[in-house]
Structure 1
Amino acid sequence: MFNFIKKNLFFSKKSNLYFLGLLYSLILTCLSFFITFYTIFSNKKTYIILILFLTIQFMVHILYFLHIKKIKNLKWNLIISIFSLLIIVIIIFGSIWIMYNLHSNLLQS
């Protein structure tokens, strides 16, 4: 199936890579929601599986959307990787901070 998508779905190779990245991201996201919604595994196993899916999806985004594998200068690879990790850390800790403040502010009354 993926060979068909790579060869016949779009006209340019760049469009094929974007579509494959989107397809992989959607599959990983749907699997993550399915595992957490239906509580198939125990909490510890669910956390481990979700961290695994997070890591795989991060790699998919780096390879298919940021095109780090195509940049020949290692300095730019490092800068892009550090910036991506910085954005992820800001989003994660910002979300935790907002949820903590909402929780503490809603329970005060």
Structure 2
Amino acid sequence: MANAHSIDTGAGHGSVRSYVIGFVLSVVLTAAAFGLVMQQALGPTESIIAIAVLAFIQILVHLVFFLHMNTSSSQRWNLISLGFAVLVAVILIGGTLWVLHNVGAHMMSR
């Protein structure tokens, strides 16, 4: 009964090994994006696509290794909250780009 007042938040704590793996992966992904730009290995469009892919992979690394997101039942509410936040961000950013595009198109037609 010593822990009768503790509340299980569903948050897991990672090991030192998982933090080191996450850190190394983050550094490698950042160095890869930096090296890609500095070496000018690809054209401008391909570079932007490659950097976006590396950024997406780095987001996943941070979610898994630092925020300990996974598909376990104890993380279900965290994943739902993350999904809702992503949905709201996509709606806001997409809506803003759509409105700005339409404003620009209508202003240029005059």
Residue identity matched to 1:43: P
TM-score by length of 2: 0.59
Map 1:39-50 → 2, pairs under 5 A? 39-50=40-51
Judged with a 3 Å threshold, the aligned counterparts in structure 2 of structure 1 residues 22 and 81 are, in CA distance, closer, same or farther, namely: farther
Moved over 3 A (4+): 80-83
Q: Are 1:75 and 2:77 counterparts? A: yes
Instruction: Give the equivalent residue in structure 1 for 2:64.
Output: 63
CA deviation map 1:13-57 (0-9, x unaligned): 700000000000000000100111121100011011001101100
Greater Rg by CA: 2
* Structure 1 position 78, deviation (Å): 1.9
Whether the aligned pair in 2 keeps the contact of 1:68 and 1:77 (CA below 8 Å) is: yes
Instruction: Give the equivalent residue in structure 2 for 1:19.
Output: 20
Percent identity of the aligned residues? 20
TM-score by length of 1: 0.59
Distance in 2 of aligned mates of 1:58 and 1:81? 14
Residue identity matched to 1:77: L
- Higher helix proportion: 1
Q: Return 5+ residue gaps in structure 2 as ranges.
A: 1-13, 94-110
Aligned-residue RMSD, C-alpha: 2.2
Distance in 1 of aligned mates of 2:45 and 2:21? 31
Name the SS of the counterpart of 2:63 in structure 1: helix
* Structure 1 position 72, deviation (Å): 2.2
Instruction: Give the equivalent residue in structure 2 for 1:98.
Output: none
